[in-house]
C-alpha cells in the first residue's frame, strides 16, 4: 500500500505484503549491533489508489529502526499517513527516513553515477561478476529487487542496468539482501 494507516497486525494481508518490504529493509540496514551506515534503501510502493510513493532510508542518519517487524513497519508506516510529496521532491519524515512520489525509473535517474545491478535468477552469476571486476569495490553499487514478478526493460525506463543472479532459484528479497551483503563484505 502506498498511503493510509498501515495495518500493523496484518502486514501480509491488508498491508499488501508490506511484511516483505520490512524484512528486506531490516536485512539491508541492520547488523547484529547497529546499522550499516553506508547503505541506502529505496522502497517503491505502488499499491492502492493514488500515485506511486517512494521511501528512502539512509543508514548513516536513520534513527529508531528496530529489528522486530512490527516496530520497523511502524517506522515506515509513519510516511504513509502524510500527503505525498511531488515526484522527485524528497521530504524528511523522521531522521534518516524520507519520502517522495515517483517510480523505479525516477530512482534510476537519480542513481546516474551508480552501477546498477538488477537481481535476476536467469542472468549470469553476481559472484563471478564481482570477482571479475576488482574496481567495483570502490564504486557505488545499487541493487534492484523486484516483487513476485520479474522486472521488464520497460519497468526500468530505458536505464542501463547489469543483470546478475544469485542462483537459478528466485529467492525472497531479504535472503537476497543477506547474500549480496555477504558477497560485498568479503570483497572489502
Work out the pLDDT band at 15, boundaries 50, 70, 90.
confident
pLDDT digits (tens, 9 = 90+) for 85-127: 999 899 999 999 999 999 999 999 999 999 999 999 889 999 9
pLDDT digits (tens, 9 = 90+) for 119-154: 998 899 999 888 887 667 668 999 999 877 788 888
The torsion angles phi and psi of 137, rounded to 5 degrees, stand at: -60, -25
- Pick one of 3.40.1390.10, 3.40.50.300, 3.40.1280.10, 3.40.50.2000 as the CATH number of 8-102: 3.40.1280.10
Q: What is the pLDDT of residue 134?
A: 67
Residue located via cell numbers 547503505: 39
Work out the pLDDT band at 14, boundaries 50, 70, 90.
confident
Where do the structural domains in the chain lie, given as residue ranges? 8-102, 106-187
- Provide mean pLDDT across the span 69-75: 92
Domain at 106-187, CATH homologous superfamily: SPOUT methyltransferase, trefoil knot domain (3.40.1280.10)
Three-state DSSP at 175 gives helix
Q: What is the pLDDT of residue 137?
A: 65
Three-state DSSP at 10 gives helix
Instruction: Enter the pTM of the model.
Output: 0.92
* Helix pair 173-187, 18-29: axis angle to 10 deg: 10
Amino acid at each position: 500500500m502506498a498511503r493510509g494507516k498501515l495495518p500493523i497486525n496484518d502486514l501480509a494481508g491488508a498491508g499488501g505484503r508490506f511484511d516483505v518490504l520490512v524484512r528486506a529493509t531490516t536485512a539491508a540496514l541492520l547488523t547484529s549491533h547497529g546499522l550499516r551506515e553506508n547503505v541506502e534503501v529505496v522502497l517503491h510502493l505502488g499499491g492502492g489508489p493514488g500515485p506511486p510513493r517512494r521511501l528512502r532510508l539512509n543508514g548513516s542518519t536513520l534513527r529508531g529502526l528496530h529489528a522486530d517487524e512490527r516496530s520497523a513497519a511502524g517506522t515506515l508506516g509513519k510516511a504513509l499517513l502524510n500527503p505525498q510529496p511531488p515526484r522527485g521532491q524528497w521530504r524528511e519524515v523522521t531522521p534518516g527516513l524520507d519520502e517522495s512520489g515517483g517510480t523505479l525509473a525516477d530512482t534510476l535517474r537519480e542513481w546516474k553515477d551508480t552501477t546498477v545491478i538488477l537481481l535476476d535468477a536467469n542472468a549470469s552469476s553476481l559472484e563471478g561478476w564481482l570477482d571479475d571486476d576488482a574496481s567495483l569495490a570502490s564504486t557505488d553499487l545499487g541493487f534492484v529487487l523486484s516483487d513476485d514478478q520479474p522486472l521488464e526493460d520497460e519497468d526500468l525506463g530505458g536505464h542501463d542496468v547489469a543483470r546478475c543472479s544469485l542462483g537459478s532459484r528466485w529467492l525472497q528479497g531479504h535472503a537476497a539482501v543477506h547474500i549480496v551483503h555477504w558477497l560485498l563484505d568479503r570483497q572489502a
